[in-house]
Amino acid sequence: MTNQLILANANLVLENEAIRGTVVVKDGVIAALDSGSEVPPGALDMEGDLLCPGLIELHTDNLERHIQPRPKVDWPHAAAIVAHDAELASVGITTVFDAMRVGSIPSGKGRYLKYARSLSRELLELRQAGALKISHYLHLRAEVCSETLEEEMGEFGPDDRVGIVSLMDHTPGQRQFRDISKLKAYVMGKNNMTEDDFAEHVAQLREMRARNGERHEVLAVEAARRYGAVLASHDDTTEAHVKTSASHGIRLAEFPTTVEAARACHAHGIAVMMGAPNLIRGGSHSGNVAAGELAELDLLDIVSSDYVPAALLASALLLGDMWGNMARGIATVTKAPADASGLTDRGRIALGERADLIRVKRIAGAPVVRGTWVQGNRVS
């Protein structure tokens, strides 16, 4: 028997325009689109609310917040994963690439330990058991300034749903932390370091980068190809950084830190992704380029919620208002991330696409998700 869902009298946000109309879903796929405000028998009346494609999140640290809700508090992982999944569904995210760091520093000051393999295994097991509401992929953040990257990346393979590998380099004095004072305030506050501790930490990272960085970068590029994953750069700052990214075949740049880098990305055909908190707050907490400035310069293609899931939809609506084109704003969190990550079956309201859909109403200026469907099944 065919499983059918009809969502009528909606403001449909299509690829290039928004129209009043109806979506018919059969067996989890968009089977028909009709214009007009009629509500046929058996349909759900959307009452003129926006009906958008489900949001696609390429980079979020939100799972870490659920696993460690307070410093030194480790929450049971299964419960944390389920809560993270439900939170994303509630704010309209229907596909997520869960960001997990690979490449650890088990010695010295500012040490941090491996976790990605064990945590991702738990997530994939819950997905296989049907415990999760939305679609999950892995985003491995390959930290080249580390001691264990080769070992950790060797623990993953083509069957692990690794969709993105990003090349990370948090060596002090460049990229995100060109301003050492910003790094100092962050690291000392987080880890209770003294001035001497911080100096030792910086020296250790710089030595580690000199020893491992180039080898780790090559290794991460090769691993992404082995997984069948999209390769992304992170915190490109200069034209030289972007040129190196392009030489690796990178087509997605996460959070470039300067206008110079964003322009160079577009010149090389690399999509630019910025953080929703940066856009909504009006600037970067690290002192880097503002997402709004890149949007005004037509250098912003994709938005990521980064660390505030609800910010993803809010940022898309903000961009729609800024550009005077709601379809374009919504595309930064639907079609554009789908294209960048190689997902060809979602991100648009179009015939034959997955019926990942969200119903949205603005109330007192805030976006309220009034319904989330994944493959035609309501999940929130």
CATH of the domain at 3: 2.30.40.10
β-partners of residue 109 are none
What's the CATH number where 155 sits? Answer: 3.20.20.140
For residue 75, the SS3 value is: coil
Report the alpha-carbon distance of residue 254 to residue 67 in Å, rounded.
Answer: 24
**359 with 334, same domain?**
no
| pLDDT confidence bin for 122, thresholds 50/70/90 | very high
User: Does residue 204 carry a pLDDT above 60?
Assistant: yes
**222 with 271, same domain?**
yes
**195 with 66, same domain?**
yes
Mean per-residue pLDDT for 14-36? 97
DSSP class of residue 76? -
| pLDDT confidence bin for 247, thresholds 50/70/90 | very high
**256 with 109, same domain?**
yes
Report the alpha-carbon distance of residue 49 to residue 142 in Å, rounded.
Answer: 41
Cα 202 off chain centre by: 29
Mean per-residue pLDDT for 289-296? 97
More confident call, 188 vs 329: 329
Of 254, 247, 249, the closest CA to residue 224 belongs to 249
**103 with 18, same domain?**
no
**355 with 341, same domain?**
no
**164 with 243, same domain?**
yes
- Residue pair 272/294 in contact by the 8 Å Cβ criterion: yes
E strand or H helix at 12, and its extent? Answer: strand 4-13
Which residues, other chains included, contact 157 with Cβ-Cβ below 8 Å and sequence gap of 6+?
A: 226, 227
- Residue pair 139/166 in contact by the 8 Å Cβ criterion: yes
Dump pLDDT digits (tens) for 44-73.
999 999 999 999 999 999 999 999 999 889
**43 with 61, same domain?**
no
| pLDDT confidence bin for 180, thresholds 50/70/90 | low
**128 with 197, same domain?**
yes
**307 with 373, same domain?**
no
Which residues, other chains included, contact 204 with Cβ-Cβ below 8 Å and sequence gap of 6+?
A: 105, 108, 109, 110
Q: Domain of 93?
A: 55-345
Report the alpha-carbon distance of residue 7 to residue 10 in Å, rounded.
Answer: 7
Which residues, other chains included, contact 242 with Cβ-Cβ below 8 Å and sequence gap of 6+?
A: 233, 236, 253, 256, 261, 264, 265, 267, 268, 270
Tokens representing 247 are: 């030489």
Number of folded domains that form the chain: 2
pLDDT at 3: 87
In this predicted structure, which of 1-5, 72-76, 340-344 has the lowest mean pLDDT?
1-5
More confident call, 175 vs 64: 64
Q: How would you classify the pairing of strands 29-35 and 18-26?
A: antiparallel
User: Does residue 192 carry a pLDDT above 80?
Assistant: no
Phi, psi of 153 (to 5 degrees): -70, -25
User: Does residue 1 carry a pLDDT above 50?
Assistant: no
**102 with 231, same domain?**
yes
Given strand 135-143, what is the order of strands in its sheet? 55-60, 93-102, 135-143, 162-168, 230-234, 252-254, 271-275, 302-304
**234 with 328, same domain?**
yes
Tokens representing 18 are: 């928004």
Angle between helix 259-267 and 239-247 (nearest 10): 30
pLDDT at 169: 85
Report the alpha-carbon distance of residue 167 to residue 149 in Å, rounded.
Answer: 11
pLDDT at 189: 53
